[in-house]
Amino acid sequence: MSERRIVALAGGVGAARFLSGLVQVAAPSEITVIVNTGDDRDFFGLRVCPDLDILTYTLAGRIRADTGWGLEGDTFACLEQLRRFRDDTWFQLGDRDLATHLHRSERLRQGATLSEVTREITLAFGLEIELLPMSDEPAATMLVRSGGERCDFEEYLVRDGAPDDIREIDLSAARSARPAPGVLEAIAGAERLLVCPSNPVVSIGTIRAVAGVEEQLRARGDAVAVSPLIGGAPVKGPVDRLLPAFGVEVSSTGIAELYLPIAVGMLIDEADRDEAAGIEALGLRVRTAVSLMRTPEIAATLARAALELADEAAGA
């Protein structure tokens, strides 16, 4: 197992599966993950950070397998009881999951930063890998619907079921947020830079929007990205409904164009191999791989392929 410093940009479920492969082929203590916090918001006075928690629970081997979020075996008694008082209980927060949000919220109220609390939580779950929130400041992604109504990402995705009516994606909060301590340094100091198979707009795009991050990524220009599309479609999530609002074609080629300023290579699924020549013509190295991470073994093979492509591009 090599000991090179690897930095990965990550959203939620797709990234979590990929990183569970990466920790099998690289030392977890040498991996820093910069995580999207654009989906974070308060529920019932508690700070919930969906992508940070999905990554933590997955890497700790505690994730609920059927959903890709929440804790395995969790119950929902608190939420059921809350329904007695209110009707805005659409976000599924399990009883054990609530402990994470209670602890985080209390520590934030005491003056701890999100990075500090995240470190406490990941250590408590026994993780060696470092998860860095992209920013310690609130940076909510807002979506503008065709009727002009604004909503946050969780309202769009969970409450409303990700409808096909997004006119605009507003990343202005991320743009005015400062990167969390260590984020720019991690990018500058990385030996290998990876972009997980995550939503390129509302996960990776949000991280790129944080003040100074895009400049740092462009200064390197050597990221290797894993496409979140298989056969031109997302495995899950609304990426196909959000790319058009960003003026991006729903294909690995469209995503490659989006990543071109920061990337040197891209892994695409074997089902999309006919896009390889076009992406290479854009100037990226391309490899095809089986990218549906149904098992930890497939995730490890995919992660190894991403590292090999990054090594090759670095001339290592």
Least Å distance, CB 65 to ligand GDP, is: 13
Write out the binding residues for ligand GDP, residues 76-95 only, by CB under 6 A. Answer: none
Residues 49-68 that bind ligand GDP (CB under 6 A): 51
In this chain, which of 228, 259, 264, 266 binds ligand GDP, going by CB under 6 A? Answer: 228
Three-class SS of the chain: CECCCEEEEECCHHHHHHHHHHHHHECHHHEEEEECCCCCEEECCEEECHHHHHHHHHHCCCECCCCCCCECCCCCHHHHHHCCCCCCCCCCCCHHHHHHHHHHHHHHHCCCCHHHHHHHHHHHCCCCCEEEECECCCCCCEEEECCCCEEEHHHHHHHCCCCCCEEEEECHHHHCCCECCCHHHHHHHCCEEEECCCCCCCCHHHHHHCCCHHHHHHHHCCEEEECCEECCEECCCCHHHHCHHHCCCCCHHHHHHHHCCCEEEEEEEHHHHHHHHHHHHHCCEEEEECCCCCCHHHHHHHHHHHHHHHHHHCCC
Q: Which is closer to ligand GDP, CB of 12 or CB of 254?
A: 12
Q: From the list 231, 236, 273, 295, which residue makes contact with ligand GDP (rule: CB under 6 A)? A: 236
Q: Which is nearer to ligand GDP, 20 or 115 (CB)?
A: 20
Nearer to ligand GDP, 153 or 192 (CB): 153
Say whether residue 14 binds ligand GDP (CB under 6 A). Answer: yes
Among positions 183-222, residues that touch ligand GDP (CB under 6 A) are 197-199, 203
Residues interacting with ligand GDP, by CB under 6 A?
11-15, 17, 51, 197-199, 203, 226, 228, 230, 234-237, 239, 291-293
